[in-house]
A and B are shown apart, each in its own frame.
Chain A
């Protein structure tokens, strides 16, 4: 009868498992630092919404002094951080969902302010609202998102973009959808005009003042 080293297989298996678990624990320890980042992002978002509320009231008299593009730049930085969390934690993670809802509220609040600046100060700002979906026509939404990212980076001093998940349940968002009669995704509202379906780069560029 030839030798079978069951003990060896078992002990090496345990050793591997041990190293694996250590790896996970260390990684978790590092990502617990991200969870601090998460709470920070949450706090920052809330503060933003609050201060935007205040800002629009304070600014009601001096509204034309608001630097719209600085505001949207800060907002989009926050958005990118949420994207990273989404990649690590998953779309369905509770924290990610909460953050995204807060982010939508912030975007809506900012959109109102920017719209007001545009109307009252006669500034040339192109306001784009983008409704995407991760369920219906998700690949078209992705293409549209890609093109809009490009437009935003290409015309940083002319364009502000707000993106919303069409499937998100949120009374304020519902009102917005009703006003512009948004029914499907992707949909783009370019300066109050509804464009349904995918919009090419050429078309969007030609609409910019």
Chain B
């Protein structure tokens, strides 16, 4: 192999991806699933499910009903729907559901975080669950999560997020991605470094009372809450037994928008809590946060570099073919044996294969742990996703550097 920039870059990328895959894989295998311990003879804490809703008239009934179907003592459960001055009939629809545990409020429009805070103030539970209207809990969701709170250091616990009935290829890809990120999050929480409290998270009300409610001026208040819990040296636990289902973005454009928001939120909050990039915050400070920053910049760079190269190669080839009036058929007698021997004798090929196989192993282990089918879509997953992730990271980085918030 020739030591040029391109080859060195490919080797570095493969090294980095192999390292992170092995890192999460070994962490996952090493640890017991102690926080998921079954919770027999345990006291049931009171749970308040807060559902902020804006123009969710179509989904709201389904979401409320899914909570009502959950196995949990009725006197220990309350559902608080906060209608954020929707333009549709969200409020009316929510009112249609008859249940003693349901309370429906309507407030002046002010965004999701404000609606959540409004709900928290009205709530009486020991734990609050923030439930988006496009997300709904599995029937064992509550029972299986409360064990995580046996440890008083735990301030938040996250159910496993699954994609609700994935249909098209993009949704299937996301289903696979969510399975893999579950293992990554689980490993991060084993190492005390989970730093986000996304859709469906359960948070101790005690913490919110002491350290304040959700921030209203950020795009990703769930990241902020995660960082805040970590900054006070408390823990966030990822559960694999407790599950919520979520409806994914249906097309590439909204997927990229979503990811831009996430990456931007990640950057914004790491910047806000930059004092946490220190050994005082243990593994999170010396490894997870720096690696997140590095990944976002490295992936952006890779994406730009390889896209530009691809475009240049394409232009070059079009130029060459124009010299022969695009009559390229005589030149297409390419020799399979020769190209195969070229591919096989290149060390890069093997490295890429190794990284691919370990990634596949990670997927397989993740899949077994969350009882999902093996999906061949994984191959597409790598191709489409690499591209979508790359482009969204670049956009997020540009937004961050120019200090312009991405749109919703």
- Per-residue B-contact encoding for A168-207, CB less than 8 Å = 1, 0 else: 0000000000000000000000000000000011000000
**Which chain B positions have C-beta within 8 A of A57?**
none
| A interface bracket (residues with beta carbon within 8 Å of B) | 35 or more
Q: What B residues does A1 contact at CB under 8 A?
A: 280, 282
Q: Which 8 A-B pairs have the closest CB atoms?
A: A2-B282, A153-B330, A27-B347, A90-B2, A31-B345, A16-B19, A150-B324, A27-B350
For B351, what are the chain A residues with a Cβ–Cβ distance below 8 Å?
A: 20, 23-24, 27
Q: Within the assembled complex, what's the spacing in Å between the Cα atoms of A127 and B342?
A: 31
Q: A144-169 vs B: 1/0 string, CB under 8 Å?
A: 00110110011000000000000000
Whether A5 sits at the interface, judged by CB under 8 Å, is yes
A2-B282, A4-B286, A27-B349 known; A201 and B323 CB under 8 Å? yes
Residues of A within 8 A of B282 (CB): 1-4
Question: What are 20 contact pairs spanning A and B, CB under 8 A?
Answer: A1-B282, A2-B233, A4-B282, A8-B26, A8-B27, A16-B18, A23-B351, A24-B351, A26-B350, A30-B350, A31-B345, A80-B338, A88-B2, A89-B2, A90-B2, A146-B324, A153-B331, A153-B333, A154-B327, A200-B323
Instruction: Write out, one digit per residue, whether chain A residues 1-43 have a CB within 8 A of any chain B CB (1) or not (0).
Output: 1111100110011011001100110111011011001000000
Q: Which A residues contact B (CB, under 8 angstroms)?
A: 1-5, 8-9, 12-13, 15-16, 19-20, 23-24, 26-28, 30-31, 33-34, 37, 80-81, 84, 87-90, 142-143, 146-147, 149-150, 153-154, 200-201
Q: Are A12 and B347 touching (Cβ within 8 A)? A: no
Report chain B residues within 8 Å CB of A28: 347
Residue of B nearest to A84 (CB): B342
What's the minimum C-beta distance from A92 to chain B, rounded to whole angstroms? Answer: 9
Docked Cα-Cα span, A20 to B17, in Å, equals: 12
Closest to B282 in A: A2
Residue in chain A with minimal CB distance to B191: A5
Residue of B nearest to A149 (CB): B331
**Could you tell me the distance between the alpha carbons of A33 and B344 in the complex, rounded to whole angstroms?**
10
Question: Is A23 a contact of B331 with CB atoms below 8 Å?
Answer: no
Cβ contact of A27, chosen from B15, B325, B327, B346, cutoff 8 A: B346
Cα–Cα, bound, A170→B243 (Å): 75
User: Measured between C-beta atoms, what is the minimum distance from A71 to chain B in Å?
Assistant: 19
Other CB < 8 Å A-B pairs besides A1-B280, A15-B26, A16-B15, 18 of them?
A: A2-B282, A4-B282, A4-B283, A4-B286, A5-B191, A8-B26, A8-B27, A19-B18, A19-B354, A19-B358, A20-B18, A20-B351, A24-B350, A30-B350, A84-B338, A146-B320, A154-B330, A201-B325
A16/B283 in contact, CB under 8 A: no
Q: A19-B18, A20-B18, A153-B330 are in contact. Are A30 and B26 (CB under 8 A)?
A: no
Cα–Cα distance between A115 and B192 once the two chains are bound (Å)? 79
* A residues less than 8 Å from B312 (CB atoms): none
- Residue pair B350, A84 in contact (C-beta under 8 Å): no
B-side interface mostly: helix
Q: Could you tell me if A30 and B344 are in contact, using CB atoms closer than 8 angstroms? A: yes
Query: A201 to chain B: which residues have CB within 8 Å?
Result: 323-325
B191 x A143 contact (CB < 8 A): no
Which B residues touch A143, using CB under 8 A?
Answer: 319-320, 323
By a beta-carbon cutoff of 8 Å, the part of chain B in contact with chain A is 1-2, 14-15, 18-19, 22-23, 26-27, 191-192, 233, 279-287, 319-320, 323-325, 327, 330-331, 333, 335, 338, 341-342, 344-347, 349-351, 354, 358
**Whole-angstrom distance between the alpha carbons of A149 and B319 in the complex?**
15
Q: Which residue of A lies closest to B284 (CB)?
A: A2
The distance from the CB of B369 to the nearest CB of chain A, in whole angstroms, is: 20
What is the total of A-B residue contacts with beta carbons within 8 Å?
107
> Which residue, A9, A20, A24, A33, has most C-beta atoms of chain B within 10 A?
A20
Residue of B nearest to A6 (CB): B286
A5 to B192, CA, bound (A): 11
A93 and B15 alpha carbons, distance in the complex (Å): 26
A81, B338: Cβ atoms under 8 Å? yes
CB distance from A94 to the nearest CB of B (A): 14
Partner of A150, one of B26, B331, B358: B331
Rounded to whole angstroms, the CA-CA distance of A2 and B280 in the bound complex is: 6
- Given A4-B286, A23-B347: A147 and B323 interface contact (C-beta under 8 Å): yes
For residue A147, which residues in chain B have a CB less than 8 angstroms away from its CB? 323-324
Question: Are A88 and B324 in contact, with the CB atoms below 8 A?
Answer: no
How far does the Cβ of B340 sit from chain A's closest Cβ, in whole Å? 10
Question: In the complex where A5-B283, A146-B323 touch, is A23 in contact with B354 (Cβ < 8 A)?
Answer: yes
Complex-state Cα separation, A13 to B282, whole angstroms: 18
Complex Cα–Cα for A13 and B286 (A): 15
Of A4, A12, A88, which one neighbours B1 at CB under 8 angstroms? Answer: A88
